[in-house]
């Protein structure tokens, strides 16, 4: 195993290379506060994904969703579509890290004959809900005992402060510069400017704009930080065999893996402070796929803050540890530069903060050849999911 194995581990997954394919994708509008509920957003994403797959709601006999949010579960599905059929389901799907591992759950259910067509859905309405949350998306953290007593009273809260501290350490250890973090933000904005559905579609950003943006907590700037959005997306997975009968171009699931940090979401105590559990996830996912980072045509990776993008690029093996700052300078991440096209929809930084589900949908579009900022000739796409405690890696290819 790459890295220092004492601070995390790999979840044991069976080989499902080539067993299943993603055959339908659906997205809602991505917006600032919309006044909509997450359940309503989830229903719309689900309906669009099912239609895109050329299926009817009654054909969907499996559902993966986020148990932590539980905005669109089996009961919501039946209420939305007026159906009553038996459905296999798992609360370990949805967004974040689980947007990458949901196809594994689907493959296991499909291979076991428990389901034929599995829908994974993830909606969020945090832009609408924000005013009623303590510390915004940090609220869930503030309720944890150790954080509430040993971190929050000392001003180490919420996420922008955690990641400012991680950024600082990355700068101290590796010499990473502010402009190098800015290169990630600028690339994501450039892609959002090319993507009519992105929240920041109409707003340009240069590196000078980045360097002029205010610090939230030095060295972390406003433009190092993701948006807060309403929106949702969904995708349908079925067997590779069944996929041949459906209308959409087939995108095959080649590799899936999950890595866990022993310190969970206690970032302060993670032994390898400037790494992500991708260290434990990307190598087994590439091994399952029989591919390497050099084979990847397009990468979408969870980017709540620019430093998380840099750490994941290192930990997934796209450059040596500590060298991501120099690696991303210039046009490396641009969709049309032929190097490492990164978050060509704009990511959480500039597309929408829908917690990774749109990253997977974007990969499917890239491999279908229908993306807004299309990577020429994309055949291999990878998603890097992240929560802090978890990372996931999903390797997809064009059939």
Q: Which of 15, 215, 244, 337 binds another protein (CB under 8 A)?
A: 215
Rg (CA), the chain: 20
CB 335 within 8 A of CB 318: no
- Interface with another protein, residue 113, by CB under 8 A: no
Task: Indicate if 386 belongs to the active site.
Answer: no
Q: Which is nearer to another protein, 81 or 156 (CB)?
A: 156
| CA distance linking residue 108 with residue 279, whole number of Å | 24
CB atoms within 10 A of CB 29: 15
- Interface with another protein, residue 129, by CB under 8 A: no
Site string for another protein, 138-167 (x = CB under 8 A): xxx-xx-xx-xxxxxxxxxxx-xx--xxx-
Q: Which residues contact 254 (CB under 8 A, 6 or more apart)?
A: 17, 18, 288, 289, 290, 291, 395, 396, 397
- Interface with another protein, residue 93, by CB under 8 A: no
Token couple for 181: 């973090």
Q: Which of 116, 169, 242, 321 binds another protein (CB under 8 A)?
A: 169
Q: Which is nearer to another protein, 33 or 133 (CB)?
A: 133
SS3 (DSSP) at 230: strand
Q: Which of 216, 240, 250, 287 binds another protein (CB under 8 A)?
A: 216
Q: Please, which of residues 263-282 interact with another protein by CB under 8 A?
A: 266, 268-269, 271, 273
Q: Which is nearer to another protein, 37 or 111 (CB)?
A: 37
- Interface with another protein, residue 244, by CB under 8 A: no
CB 87 within 8 A of CB 77: yes
Q: How far is the CB of 73 from another protein (least distance, A)?
A: 18
- Interface with another protein, residue 228, by CB under 8 A: no
How many chain residues interact with another protein (CB under 8 A)?
Answer: 43
Residue 122's nearest CA partner among 140, 155, 154, 96 is: 96
Kindly name the residue from 104, 162, 210, 302 that is annotated as catalytic: 302
- Interface with another protein, residue 5, by CB under 8 A: no
Rounded to a whole number, what is the distance in angstroms from the first to the last CA of the chain? Answer: 30
- Interface with another protein, residue 133, by CB under 8 A: yes
Q: Which is nearer to another protein, 216 or 240 (CB)?
A: 216
| CA distance linking residue 226 with residue 349, whole number of Å | 4
Kindly name the residue from 210, 353, 383, 386 that is annotated as catalytic: 353
CB atoms within 10 A of CB 112: 9
Beta strands 380-386 and 220-221: pairing type? unpaired
- Interface with another protein, residue 70, by CB under 8 A: no
Place of tokens 């229908």: 370
Q: Which residues contact 290 (CB under 8 A, 6 or more apart)?
A: 17, 254, 255
- Active-site residue numbers? 302, 353
Residue ranges in contact with another protein by CB under 8 A: 132-136, 138-140, 142-143, 145-146, 148-158, 160-161, 164-166, 168-169, 172, 214-220, 266, 268-269, 271, 273
């Amino acid at each position: 195993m790459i890295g220092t194995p004492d601070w995390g581990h790999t979840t044991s997954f069976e080989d499902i290379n080539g067993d299943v394919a993603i055959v339908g994708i659906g997205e809602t509008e991505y917006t600032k506060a919309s006044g909509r509920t997450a359940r309503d957003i989830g229903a719309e994403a689900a309906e669009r994904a099912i239609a895109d797959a050329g299926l009817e709601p009654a054909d969907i006999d499996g559902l993966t969703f986020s148990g932590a949010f539980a905005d669109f579960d089996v009961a919501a599905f039946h209420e939305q579509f007026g159906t009553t059929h038996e459905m296999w389901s798992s609360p370990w799907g949805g967004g974040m890290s689980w947007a990458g591992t949901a196809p594994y759950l689907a493959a296991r259910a499909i291979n076991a004959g428990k389901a034929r067509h599995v829908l994974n859905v993830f909606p969020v309405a945090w832009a609408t809900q924000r005013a009623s949350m303590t510390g915004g998306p940090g609220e869930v953290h503030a309720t944890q005992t150790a954080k509430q007593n040993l971190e929050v009273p000392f001003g180490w809260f919420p996420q922008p402060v955690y990641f400012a501290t991680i950024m600082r350490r990355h700068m101290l250890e590796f010499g990473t510069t502010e402009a190098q973090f800015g290169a990630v933000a600028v690339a994501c904005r450039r892609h959002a400017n090319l993507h009519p559905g992105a929240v920041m579609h109409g707003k340009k950003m240069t590196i000078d704009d980045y360097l002029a943006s205010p610090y939230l907590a030095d060295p972390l700037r406003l433009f190092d930080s993701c948006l807060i959005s309403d929106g949702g997306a969904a995708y349908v997975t079925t067997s590779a065999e069944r996929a041949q009968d459906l209308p959409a171009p087939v995108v095959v699931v080649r590799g899936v893996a999950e890595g866990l940090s022993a310190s969970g979401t206690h970032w302060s105590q993670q032994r390898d402070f400037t790494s992500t559990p991708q260290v434990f996830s990307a190598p087994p996912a590439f091994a399952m796929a029989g591919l390497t980072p050099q084979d990847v045509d397009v990468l979408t990776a969870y980017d709540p803050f620019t430093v998380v993008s840099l750490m994941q690029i290192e930990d997934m093996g796209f450059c040596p540890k500590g060298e991501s700052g120099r690696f991303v300078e210039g046009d490396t991440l641009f969709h049309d530069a032929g190097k490492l096209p990164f978050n060509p929809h704009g990511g959480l930084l500039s597309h929408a903060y829908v917690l990774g589900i749109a990253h997977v949908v974007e990969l499917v579009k890239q491999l279908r050849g229908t993306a807004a900022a299309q990577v020429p000739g994309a055949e291999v796409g990878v998603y890097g999911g992240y929560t802090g405690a978890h990372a996931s890696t999903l390797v997809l290819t064009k059939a």
